[in-house]
A and B are shown apart, each in its own frame.
Chain A
């Protein structure tokens, strides 16, 4: 009895907690499959389920464009941020570039409310004629990704990594070769994890895109928000669009599970 209880109780507790997190998602999936009237019924009613909202978002709204913009901006900003953040983290960790002051400065930039950064950025882009362009969004997202990713990666280049690099240097490697052939491959799980997080950060980013994008360069979060029109919230298509916009993150999930945990627990050196 006692042993069975020991097995069941944790599962019950975990199920309840999981439901707290999953309920909104399940709700959205249900709403995405019903019509607008059924969607608002309390208690929830299943009614006739169908894919009409999914068809709707592709026909009535520029959903493909939002999705493509999101994908391009997230991929490009991650691909640019990753090598830069890796080099930055390495120089913070191993060369102590700029000392504690620069490290803290980089972190402090992330403590500012994003809204403070948006207006100056808008001003700069206006000056160089980049407003409403995807390039502007990519640069804007770099201002988020670079500090975040470099801070995340610093720990990967500290500690035992110094010994490995010293071993490589005595083995005949130049500093650059030691970085490229030893430090980067050893930190690869962390770099990959950082890349995945960078992608998700950009994918979900709302404020910068809201201010800096134009009609042709809107990404998903801003596109979805535009479904809340003055004629009321288009709740059912909104739910369908939300489900589709979650798909890439779900596709990354297996990688995330494997590499994020491995990467964040610094397993490579043990």
Chain B
């Protein structure tokens, strides 16, 4: 087990394209870290640099406190699971698992016992004598994971390992990976573009865009306090509603005004937003923060919504509506499963004011306000 430290890591390709731009990050020993971002954001390149499969253009990479920039991938003592599994097609499952150990001259009896243990852990004992071409996608996934596990490396690097699986299998592998991490306690870096994986699996999420780290934090922390509109619109489905509005004075307080709707700013945030009074802003409202019944003490504010359609998903209903007026911006709102509204119907819901986020339209950064736990 080991910590992984990235210190101003940059990757520039010979054609002058910068894939990763001075990224710094401390991955703690034993941590489950998620790299999340859209394709082309540099998350896979960063992972490949940690693995040693991609040369680092500048900056320092430390694994377990040792600088490894020039260390061969074979000598970094890390294991990687690829999206397409990359099992050796000419070897049986058992030999696939044994390959890394044989190269390291581990004793045959030790190899055998480790294979037996890992095969039992992953439930792949019946597959040991088969070739990869005789396995299903889920089985290949397990073998690829097993090949990483038998090595007992200092850290696991997972490069979108679940994206080739169907939805059911993906959900169960997600749980299994979390269980594995709990029992092994090894550092895991997991690259994904799936925000569900990011939210459910990681101890911390590192969100990347265009080669930069946008935000690092625990899943709920990032979800409730997004650093900018990109993070706000990337995490959770449906994502945060981002509406053009203004901050205006409201008696002795402030209000966020979108169309004709005034949302009073909680007293605790006034100081943070005061500098933007009278200026245009982007108001962020999570779909989850609307409710049918008002809460007293000014905690909620009523919002008129003009129904476009409802999506009845079973556990919940997504209301798609124009905000505040029939021509207002389109918003998505998550309601309980018994909620119904007809197209064209005006519904009044109540927004939970402490959850409001306000972004600067120029920089798209959030206006820092007291953190929600």
Contacts and interface: CB of A to CB of B under 8 A. Distances in A.
Contacts of A172: 74, 100, 103-104, 151
Interface in B90-117: 90, 99-100, 103-104
A174 interface: yes
A164 B86 contact: yes
Given A177-B103, A270-B133, A169 B74 contact: yes
A172 B100 CA distance: 6
Given A169-B73, A270-B133, A182 B79 contact: no
Given A172-B103, A173-B103, A177-B103, A167 B86 contact: yes
Nearest to B80: A170
A160 B86 CA distance: 8
Contacts of B89: 164, 186, 268-269
B151 A166 contact: no
A170 B74 CA distance: 5
A168 interface: yes
B151 A171 contact: yes
Interface in A136-169: 160, 163-164, 166-169
A188 interface: yes
Interface of A is mostly: helix
Contact of B99 (A160, A163, A171): A171
Contacts of A123: none
Nearest to B103: A172
Nearest to A161: B86
A164 B88 contact: yes
A177 B73 CA distance: 13
A167 B80 contact: yes
A120 B201 CA distance: 68
Nearest to B144: A167
B246 interface: no
A188 B90 CA distance: 10
Given A163-B84, A166-B53, A270-B133, A171 B90 contact: no
A185 interface: yes
B334 interface: no
A170 B90 contact: no
Nearest to B76: A170
A177 B74 CA distance: 11
B99 A170 contact: no
Interface in B118-152: 133, 147, 151
B82 interface: yes
A69 B338 CA distance: 88
A107 B140 CA distance: 39
Given A163-B84, A188-B90, A170 B103 contact: no
A269 B76 CA distance: 27
Interface in A235-270: 268-270
Contacts of A163: 82, 84, 86
A173 B133 contact: no
Nearest to B132: A269
Contacts of A166: 51, 53, 73, 80, 82, 86
B133 to A, nearest CB: 7
A43 B145 CA distance: 72
Contacts of A177: 103
B188 to A, nearest CB: 15
B104 A170 contact: no
A161 to B, nearest CB: 10
B88 A170 contact: no
Interface in A47-99: none
Nearest to A268: B89
Contacts of B88: 164, 167-168, 182, 185-186
Contacts of B219: none
A172 B147 CA distance: 12
Name, among B51, B88, B151, the residue most crowded by chain A CB atoms within 10 Å (CB to CB). Answer: B88
11 contacts: A163-B82, A166-B86, A169-B73, A170-B78, A171-B79, A171-B100, A171-B151, A173-B74, A177-B103, A185-B90, A186-B89
Given A160-B84, A163-B86, A171-B74, 10 more contacts: A164-B89, A168-B99, A169-B52, A170-B53, A171-B79, A171-B100, A171-B103, A173-B74, A186-B88, A188-B90
